[in-house]
Chain A
């Protein structure tokens, strides 16, 4: 067949499929439109970083600014501070966020009593469904100088003086990690528990016959079997580290727990962007910072995915 005829056949085949699938294609269409409007147009909006965007003129008529905003950004100490805080907060949280669910799932799996197992598991992911506003409200009250945490610490003799734990930069990252762990461990453990449930029972039975003890069985069977699940979660965690790991809670925590006293450690890049953009209305400037944020996130995500694929043959795409 000639090239022309080949193309015509391909087109008519696609045309025929489209006609056969017209309902399906119509059903996909709203989703496609939604994605373009609410995901891809904002992505394109990142280009406003290179202009002096004026909402009244629109992007096409706004004056071109090149790298002006970026230069100003890199000279702003607050910007660098917010980047440092973002990594500091995220790294602290990610360490716990990866380890704790695995430990919890492994321990939960070892519980023989089914009722106890169910109770513990159900209780463990209730905090996940509580809003950050509520969690912040509670923990801010409790970590205050006159709050219950200090009350208990003093009466048990651990410390002489009550401290406003959240009102100084020092403990901010650790406390955010602790609270995030409390809130999300049970939830992320579900994924591991699902993977563990898929391990064939025969493997354990033959290990018992070979004389392997509880701990030995866990180390030699359970952990290796969930290795690929762990890798996927690690990729996702590193990839979303910019936003605070899988739970993406950095912005929530920074906005809700942050105040003028712990500012030095609590203001992250996302908060900087919200302040510059939504509060101060410096759109292009904030978008420039946002572009950096999105690029960082993209690089981390792709990097983590590629490295994992090279090392362990597991990857997301």
Chain B
């Protein structure tokens, strides 16, 4: 049948094409992984590796975890991710819940206020000046408070809450529950998929954040992992860190590149590990949000 041959041909082309796409997408990450596990001098002497580490070593990771600047930044990033994500998710959920009720007074006004912030911005400088006058510059809170609310994420919550059957709320109200109780004890437990989705979004944003660390803080103690990584990328800092680790007098510039890879792998691994578990939630979440929105 004509259909069959066309079908088979397309299938083969598709499989080949998609496999190439997958390889192209994943290989950069895989490559970083194998180089981070390979001895730095080996790469310098013998050239590139493509599939597997040639000289396996954990030395590069040892630097990352023991070099004080990197280790400390890891803690800061971890702290801001955990605190920031929980705070942002709960804040956004709480503030979005009332907006999902059609009977809310001034609802249109609230929503319009939120929508406007999606496409008109004050910009970086006014934001910096504001943070300065609020006294947030150079504090840990500058990582948390300005990130508490994103109207995009709010929309995801609003759509989800609106899709819950009214009967649930009505029967709770008949039983005498107030709105806060209904939100906290009924709607929130139901929103596991959306909570997972929004947690992933806020979490990744916190984890990957470097600009605010670079421009809104000066203290070295507040440096995040991404910021230190950024500094390592600029050669000078990388050399300094390497020298610090290896001890005075020992020069080894080869190790700088491997150090970069190891730091990057450390920064990627938590995301790569968390997201297969969360991915079915956020695909669902994106679909709910986009189909309705």
Contacts and interface: CB of A to CB of B under 8 A. Distances in A.
A44 B95 contact: no
Size class of the contact patch on chain A: 35 or more
A219 B179 CA distance: 49
Contacts of B268: 130, 134
Given A107-B18, A129-B204, A134-B268, A46 B257 contact: no
A132 B124 contact: no
A172 interface: no
A126 B3 contact: no
B126 A111 contact: no
Nearest to B132: A55
Interface string B107-118: 000100111010
Contacts, number: 248
Contacts of A28: 95, 98-99, 104, 110
A21 B104 CA distance: 7
Contact of B126 (A151, A287, A298): A287
Contact of A25 (B98, B128, B209): B98
A277 interface: yes
A116 B18 contact: yes
Nearest to A286: B125
A140 B98 contact: no
Interface in A129-145: 129-134, 136-142
Contacts of A161: none
A138 B27 CA distance: 12
B59 to A, nearest CB: 19
Nearest to B290: A191
A136 B287 CA distance: 30
B171 interface: no
B18 A120 contact: yes
B26 A43 contact: no
Contacts of A43: 120-122, 126
Interface in A181-196: 182, 186, 190-191, 194-195
Most buried by B among A30, A40, A133: A133
A215 B122 CA distance: 47
B52 interface: no
Contact of B101 (A24, A108, A127): A24
B275 A191 contact: no
B130 A37 contact: yes
Contacts of B215: 274, 278
Most buried by A among B123, B210, B226, B286: B123
Contacts of A239: 119
A218 to B, nearest CB: 10
B105 interface: yes
Interface residues of B, number: 90
A315 B17 CA distance: 34
A194 B291 contact: yes
B285 to A, nearest CB: 10
Smallest CB-CB A-B distances: 9 pairs: A42-B122, A45-B126, A31-B95, A131-B208, A290-B123, A42-B126, A24-B98, A23-B179, A194-B287
14 contacts: A14-B105, A27-B183, A34-B91, A35-B117, A37-B134, A45-B122, A123-B25, A131-B208, A132-B208, A132-B210, A134-B226, A137-B229, A297-B120, A297-B121
Interface of B: 2-3, 6-7, 10-11, 14-15, 17-19, 21-22, 24-26, 28-29, 31-32, 47-48, 91, 94-99, 101, 103-105, 110, 113-115, 117, 119-130, 132-134, 145-146, 148-149, 154, 178-180, 183, 204, 207-211, 215, 226-227, 229-230, 232-233, 257, 260, 264, 267-268, 271-272, 275-276, 279, 283, 286-287, 290-291
Given A27-B183, A31-B91, A34-B148, 14 more contacts: A21-B104, A24-B97, A24-B104, A35-B114, A40-B117, A41-B126, A45-B122, A55-B133, A120-B21, A129-B204, A133-B226, A214-B7, A290-B124, A294-B120
